[in-house]
A and B are shown apart, each in its own frame.
Chain A
Amino acid sequence: MAQVSLVNVTKQFKDVTAVNQVSLEIGDKEFMVFVGPSGCGKTTALRMIAGLEEITSGEIFIDGVKVNDVPPKDRDIAMVFQNYALYPHMSVYENMAFGLQLRKVPKGVIKERVDQAAAILGIGELLKRKPKELSGGQRQRVALARAIVRQPKVFLMDEPLSNLDAKLRVHTRAELIRLHRDLGITTIYVTHDQVEAMTMGNRIAVMNKGLIQQVDTPLHLYHHPVNKFVAGFIGSPAMNFLPATVVAQGSGMAVDLGDFLLPLPETMATQVRGHQGKPVTFGIRPEDIFDRAIVPTALAAVSTATTVQVDVTEPLGSTVFAYLKTAKLEFVASLDSDTHALAGQPLEIVFDMARCHLFDIDTDDSVLQADKAVNALR
C-alpha cells in the first residue's frame, strides 16, 4: 500500500503554468479527490502522478520512492480514463489481461485474477464481448476492472463518471465508494463535480488556477472554506456573496448590507473587530436562510427577521429555491417545502448568522478564525 507525496510540483506549458507549486500528502488507503473548474490543473496533476506528463519542477514520491524519472509502466499505478480507453479490438477478458500479460504473469494467475475482478464488478458474463457491444455503464465497469486486476499501489481516476447518465452516475458513485472500502487502495480521483467530490472523498483538494486552494475533509471544506473561491465552488446552489461593511452595533458587531443590518454572533464579533468600517464580502449559503414562519425554534431566538421580496420560486419537492430581492441585493434561499413564499409577494426571512462567512474584499480570504485555522497541510 502506498502514500503519494507531491512536493512543490510545478507544470509549465510554454507560457501557461498549469500546476503551480503544489505540495500535497496523500495517505495510504486514502480516497483523495481533486476538484476544481476546468483548466484548474487537476488533471495535469493527476497525469504527472501517472507519469504521463513530465514535471517541470518539484518532486513526486510514491511509497517513499521519488518517481520523477520513473516511466508510467514502472510506477505500479492504474488509471481509469474519462473515455475508459478500452482497447476496441480486444475482448473484455483481453482488455483486463493485457497489463498482466505484459508483466509476464503466469496464465493461470491471470485467469484467476481476471475472474476475481470480473466477479467483484459483476461483469463475469461479459468477458467474451468486445467493448463496442457494451453499454456505457458496462464499459465503465470494465475500465474499473482493468484497473483493479493489476492490484496496483495507486488508483488514478480521471472523471470516470462524466460519460454516464445521471442515474447510473449515482449508482456507480456508490459502487466506487464500496470498492475503495473493500480493496483499500490509495485512490486519487479527479472530478469537476462537487457532488462526487463531497460524497466520495476522504479528503478533497480544491484547485483553482494551478493552485491548491484548500485540502480538507468534505464537511470541513463545506463549513469552513478558506476563501471565496472554495466557498463558492462547493455547495449547490452556490453560496450567496453580498457586498457588505462591518459595523459596530452596540457592544457587538454587525454587517451592513445596505438594505438591512445583520448582527454577528459574539464569537465572530471579536474576530472582525479589526475590520470595522471596512467593506467585506458577506457569504451565506442558501440553506442557511429560512422562512420566518417555519424557522427552527433555536434559530428564531437569536435572529432578527428581514423582509424581502420573492422574485421567483423553484419548488424541488423537498426544498424550494426562492430567488429573493431587496432594493439593492439579489440572493437565493433554499427553503423548506412548507414555506408560503410566493413569487411577487414579500417574505420574512431569517439568516443563520452562525454559519455566515466574511471574506476580505482584496484577497478573497476568509477573515474568520474558524475558517483559517484549518488551512494547513496535513
Chain B
Amino acid sequence: MPHISVIGRKSWGARLAFFIMYVVLIAGGLSMIIPFLVMISNSFKSNLDSQTFDLVPAYWHDNQVLTKKYVEQQTNYDVNFYNLVAHANAAMMKDITLATPANATQIADYQAFLKTLPPTDTILVERGLQGDHRVYGTHPAVAEYRSWVLEKYRTLPAVQEAYSINAPDILSLAPPQEYWYLRWFTPQVDRRLSDYLTFKAQQPLERLVPAPIEALWAGALRTRVSTDIAAVNTTLGTRYAALDTAPLPLSYPATGSPKLRDVWETCVRSDIPIWFVRGLPVAHPAWTQFLSTRFLGQIALYRKAHSNTKVTAFAVIPFPVGDALLRDNVAMGEWNDFISDKKFSPIAGLTLDTPDARYRTMLRQQYGTVASVNAAYGTNYPDFATITLPTVSVMTATAAAHTGAIRGGFIGRNYRAVADYMVLHGRAFLNTLIYIVLALLFTLTVNPVTAYALSRFKLKATNKLLLFLLATMAFPAEIAMIPNFLLLRDLHLLNTFWALVLPGVANGFSIFLLKGMFDGLPQDLYEAAELDGANEMIIFWRVTMPLVKPFLAYLALGTFISAYSAFAFAFLLCPNPKMWTIMVYLQQMDWASQPIKFAAFVLASIPTLIVFVTCQRVIMQGIVLPTEK
C-alpha cells in the first residue's frame, strides 16, 4: 500500500515528501556512481594527479598539468631526481614550478651539447625506475629497451644467459641501474651495460637527462653545514641565494673561507662520484708517486694487476685529466683511493668535470659573452657561472610543442601496462574461463536438482535438511576457508579446477529459494506434464526450469561474479601460478601504481558489465509464477 495515497499527492506535505524522496534517491545514485567514475578518471592518471577527484583528468584540458606530467615522466617519476635536475626543492611533483620554456636556439644548442656527452654522463631510466614504475613501468624507454634486447637475443633465456640475470619473465627484464649519484658507482663495463649504452645512444635526445652532479653540492651543504641558507652563508662566507641553486665550485676554492675549503675538500674526497673527479696537471707527479708506492716500485706488479697491460713505467700510466678517461674498474679503484686520501693527492690538484661545466664551456666558445647568450636564448643570466643545464626548460618546451602526442601517450599508457601484463599471463584468461564455465555448470545443476528433489519428493527429513542448508548461511565464507583448504589438500585437489569450483557449488540460500519457487508452482503443472507423458527428468528440465529462469539468471550472475572476482580464495587454493585466474594476477600487481591498478580494475569490470547488461533483461522480468484465475 502506498504511504501517500493517490488522492492528496498535490498537498504541500506530499510534494515535500516527494521532493525529499527524489533528492535522497538521486544522492544515493550519485554516491554509487561517482566513486566508479573517479576510478575510471584516475585510471588515466599518474602519481602526480592521482590524488585528485576530478571526473575528467585535468591534463585532458590543462596543458599546465600535462607539462608537469611530462616532466614527471622524463625525470623518472622521482621528485628527488627532479629536484636535482631543476635545482628545486619540491615536496611533490604536483607542486613543482614549471621552468620557462627554452626557445628554439637554446633547444638546438642543448641537443647538440647532449650529443657530445658520453652515454655514461646522461641518465635515461634512473635506477631502472624505482617503486611504482619499477619493472613494468610506464616510461616509454623501458618497453623499448625490452623489445630492443629481445630482438637482439631472440629469446628470454638467451638474454638471461648473456647478462647472467634472473628475470622470470620478459616484463621483469629491467634496464641496468644508473646509480650516477653514488660515490662508488663505476658503471660495470660488462655486456649488459655496453648493450644498454648502445641502446641509450639510439634514444631520442629529449629522453636523456645529463647527470646533475652540481646539484649534489646542495646536499653536501645540507648535511655538512646547515639546512638553513643564512647559517650556511655565515659559516662559509658565501652569498648563496638558496641552497638548491648554490653553485658548486669546480676547483679548490683557495680564496674561500677555511670552512668552505674544508667542505669542498670533504665533498670531493668522499661525496662526488669519482667518475666526475679529474686531476689537474699539478697532481700528475703525486699520481705517479701514489702508484709507485702502491706497487712497491715494481711496474711488473702493476702490469699483473692490470691484465698484463703494456705500460713500461709508472710515469706513463694514464692520468684522468681533461677528456682522458680511466676505462677499467681496477684503475677506477686506484683513482678513488688516490683522490680520497689527503696523504696522496693535493686537493688543489683535483677538479670537477661536470656536464654543466662542459655546457658552460661550450657556450663560452660559441657565444663569447653572456650578453650574446642572453640575446640568443631570451634569458637573463648575470654571468657564465650561474648558467646551469636548461634540462627542465627544454622539457617544458618539448611538452608545449607536442601536447597531442604526449596526451595520447598518457591516456593509453596505464592500460597498455595492464594489457602487457595480462597478455604476458595469457593463461589467466583461459583459467578464468574454465573456472567460470565449470562453476556455472555445477551451480546451475546441483542447486536446482537439490531444490527440485526436496520440493517434489516429500522426504520426512525435508525440513531438517532445509534447516541444515540455511544454517550454512549463518557462517561467513571466510570461516570455511581454512577447513576447505585442509579438506581439498587431503583430497589432493589443490591446484586443480575442482579446488576452485567445488567449495562454492551448493548454496544453502539458493536451494532454499529454489525449493520455495518449485513449491509455489501449481501442482497441476506437474500433473499435466505427467499426463502428457513426461518423466521426472523432462518435467524438471522442460517444465520447471524454464519457469524459474529469472532466478537462474540471477544465480548465474552471482556465480559468475563470485567466480570471476575470487582472488583470496583462488590464490589460497591454487598457489601454482599456472592455475591463477585474472583476479589473482591483478591482486599480484603490487608493482603497479594506484592509477595502473585502477586501469586494471576498469578493464576487469568490463566482462561483469557485459554479463550484467545481457542478463538484466531476464532478471528484470521478475519471477512470474503461473497463477491463472
Asked if residues A88 and B533 are in contact (CB atoms below 8 Å), the reply is no
B533 touches A73 (CB 8 A): yes
Q: B533–A99 contact, CB under 8 A?
A: yes
Residues of B within 8 A of A222 (CB): none
Tell me the bound Cα distance from A83 to B524 in angstroms.
8
CA–CA, A83 to B527, complex, Å? Answer: 12
Q: Is the CB of B531 within 8 A of A102?
A: no
Instruction: Determine if B478 is an interface residue (Cβ-Cβ < 8 Å).
Output: no
Contact in complex: B534, A88 (CB < 8 Å)? no
The interface residues of chain B lying within 8 Å CB-to-CB of A84 are 524, 628
Of B529, B531, B546, B626, which is within 8 A of A78 by CB? Answer: B531
- Interface CB pairs A-B, < 8 A, 6: A50-B527, A79-B528, A83-B524, A83-B628, A85-B522, A102-B534
- A102–B537 CA distance with the chains assembled, in angstroms: 12
Query: Is B525 in contact with chain A by the CB < 8 A criterion?
Result: yes
A203 within 8 A of B: no
Q: Are B531 and A77 in contact (CB under 8 A)?
A: yes
A102 with B528: CB separation less than 8 A? no
Q: Is B624 an interface residue (CB 8 A)?
A: yes
Q: Quick check: A50 and B531 within 8 Å, CB to CB?
A: yes
Q: Is B603 an interface residue (CB 8 A)?
A: no
Once A81-B528, A85-B528 are accepted as A-B contacts, the answer to whether A73 and B534 lie under 8 Å apart by CB is yes
Contacts of A267 in B (CB 8 A): none
**Is B534 within 8 A of A131, CB to CB?**
no
Chain A CB within 10 A, most for which of B522, B535, B629 = B522
Q: Is the CB of B530 within 8 A of A73?
A: yes
Contacts A82-B524, A87-B543, A89-B549 known; list 5 others, CB within 8 Å: A73-B530, A77-B531, A86-B628, A87-B525, A98-B532
Contact with B along A58-87 (1 / 0, CB 8 A): 000000000000011100011101111111
Do residues A88 and B624 form an inter-chain contact, with CB atoms below 8 A?
A: yes
**How would residues 414 to 444 of chain B score, 1 for a CB under 8 Å from any chain A CB and 0 otherwise?**
0000000000000000000000000000000
Cβ–Cβ < 8 Å partners of B542 in chain A: 98
B629 lies within 8 A of A163 (CB): yes
Known: A81-B524, A87-B525, A89-B547. A131 touches B532 (CB 8 A): no
Tell me, yes or no, whether A292 is within 8 Å of chain B by CB: no
Contact across chains for B547 and A72 when beta carbons are under 8 A apart: no
Q: Is the CB of B533 within 8 A of A103?
A: yes
Per the 8 Å Cβ criterion, residues 593-629 of B in contact with A are 624, 626, 628-629
A302 within 8 A of B: no
CB neighbours (8 Å) of A163 from chain B are 628-629
Q: Is B16 an interface residue (CB 8 A)?
A: no
Judge whether A139 is part of the interface by a CB distance below 8 angstroms: yes
Contact B546 A89 (CB under 8 A): yes
- Distance A89 CA – B542 CA, assembled complex (angstroms): 9
Q: A83-B522, A85-B522, A89-B546 are in contact. Are A102 and B629 (CB under 8 A)?
A: no
In the bound complex, residues from chain B placing their C-beta under 8 Å from that of A51 are 530-531
Which range holds the interface residue count of chain B? 20 to 34
Q: Which of A71, A84, A88, A132 has the most CB of B within 10 A?
A: A88
Is B538 on the interface with A (CB-CB < 8 A)?
yes
B interface footprint on A198-226 (CB within 8 Å = 1, 0 otherwise): 00000000000000000000000000000
Given contacts A81-B524, A87-B543, A88-B547, contact A131 B531 (CB under 8 A): no
- Which residue of A89, A99, A139 is within 8 Å of B628 (Cβ)? A139
Q: What separation, in Å, do the CA atoms of A85 and B543 have in the docked complex?
A: 11
Complex: A99 Cα to B543 Cα, angstroms: 12
Cα distance A36–B629 in the bound complex, in angstroms = 22
Q: Mark B535-576, 1 if CB is under 8 A from A, else 0.
A: 100100011001101000000000000000000000000000
- The residue that B532 contacts in the complex, of A88, A99, A136, with Cβ under 8 A, is A99
List residues of B (117-145) whose CB comes within 8 Å of A's CBs.
none
Closest to B545 in A: A89
Task: State the Cβ distance, A153 to closest chain B Cβ, in Å.
Answer: 12
Contact A72 B624 (CB under 8 A): no
The verdict on A52 contacting chain B, using a C-beta distance below 8 Å, is: yes
The answer to whether A81 and B527 touch (CB under 8 A), given A87-B543, A89-B546, A102-B532, is yes
Give bound CA distance, A85 to B539, whole Å. 13
Residues in A with CB closer than 8 Å to B531 are 50-52, 72-73, 77-79, 99
Chain B positions within 8 Å of A87 at CB level: 525, 528-529, 543
Q: How far is the CB of B561 from chain A (nearest CB, A)?
A: 26
Residue of A nearest to B549 (CB): A89
Q: Are A102's CB and B522's CB within 8 A?
A: no
- Measured between beta carbons, the chain B residues less than 8 angstroms from A99 are 531-533
Residues of B within 8 A of A88 (CB): 547, 624, 626
| Residue in A71, A73, A85 whose CB lies within 8 Å of B525 | A85
Chain B residues, Cβ within 8 Å of A86: 528, 626, 628
Closest residue on chain B to residue A71 by CB atoms: B530
Q: Which residues of A contact B527 (CB under 8 A)?
A: 50, 52, 72, 79, 81, 85
Cα A287 to Cα B530 with chains together (Å): 46
Q: Which residues of A contact B543 (CB under 8 A)?
A: 87
Top 6 A-B pairs, shortest CB-CB distance: A85-B524, A99-B532, A88-B626, A85-B528, A73-B533, A89-B546
Q: Which residue of B lies closest to A84 (CB)?
A: B628
How far is A73 from B535 in the complex, measured between Cα atoms in Å?
A: 8
Chain B residue nearest to A89 in the complex (CB): B546
Among B533, B538, B543, B549, chain A packs the most CB atoms within 10 A around the CB of B533
- Within A329-356, the residues touching B (CB, 8 Å) are none
Q: How far is the CA of A238 from the CA of B558 in the complex (A)?
A: 61
**A103 vs B535: C-alpha distance in the bound complex, in angstroms?**
11
Measured CB to CB, the closest approach of chain B to A151, in angstroms, equals 13
A139 to B530, CA, bound (A): 20
A239 and B528 CA atoms in complex are apart in Å by: 39
Contact A102 B624 (CB under 8 A): no
Closest Cβ of chain B: how far from A54's Cβ, in Å? 13
Residue among A78, A81, A85, A103 with the highest chain B CB neighbour number at 10 A: A85
B-side contacts of A83, CB under 8 Å: 522, 524, 628-629
**Chain A 19-40 near chain B by CB (<8 Å), digits 1 or 0:** 0000000000000000000000
B 501-541 contacts with A by CB, 8 A: 522, 524-525, 527-535, 538
Residues of A within 8 A of B525 (CB): 85, 87
Q: Which residue of B lies closest to A147 (CB)?
A: B531
Chain A hits for B529, CB < 8 A = 87, 98
| A77 to B529 alpha-carbon distance, docked (Å) | 12
Residue of B nearest to A99 (CB): B532
Nearest Cβ on chain A to B547's Cβ, whole angstroms: 6
Q: How far is the CA of A150 from the CA of B533 in the complex (A)?
A: 11
Give chain A residues whose Cβ lies under 8 Å from the Cβ of B538: 102
Whether A131 pairs with B528 at a CB distance below 8 angstroms is no
Contact with A along B440-455 (1 / 0, CB 8 A): 0000000000000000
Q: For B546, what are the chain A residues with a Cβ–Cβ distance below 8 Å?
A: 89
What is the distance, in angstroms, from A241's C-beta to the closest C-beta of chain B? 36
Chain A residues in 8 Å Cβ range of B528 = 79, 81, 85-87
For B163-205 the 0/1 string (1 means CB < 8 A from A) is: 0000000000000000000000000000000000000000000
> B547's closest neighbor in chain A, by CB?
A89
B530 lies within 8 A of A72 (CB): yes
Q: How far is the CA of A87 from the CA of B534 in the complex (A)?
A: 13
B627 smallest CB distance to A (angstroms): 8
Compute how far the CA of A139 lies from the CA of B531 in the bound complex, rounded to whole angstroms: 18
Which A residues lie within 8 Å of B629 (CB)?
83, 163
Within 8 A of B (CB), among A81-134: 81-89, 98-99, 102-103, 131-132
A131 contact set on B, CB distance < 8 A: 626, 628
Minimum CB distance partner of A52 in chain B: B527
Complex: A132 Cα to B527 Cα, angstroms: 20
Shortest Cβ distance from residue A161 to the other chain B in the assembled complex, whole angstroms: 14
> Looking across the interface, which residue of chain B has its beta carbon closest to that of A134?
B628
Tell me how far the C-beta of B448 lies from the nearest C-beta in chain A, rounded to whole angstroms.
15
Complexed CA–CA distance, A85 and B538 (Å): 16
Docked complex Cα distance between A82 and B549 (Å): 26
Tell me, rounded to whole Å, the shortest Cβ–Cβ distance linking B414 to chain A: 47
CA distance A139 to B524 in the complex (A): 14
Residues 199-216 of chain B, each 1 if its beta carbon lies under 8 Å from chain A, else 0: 000000000000000000
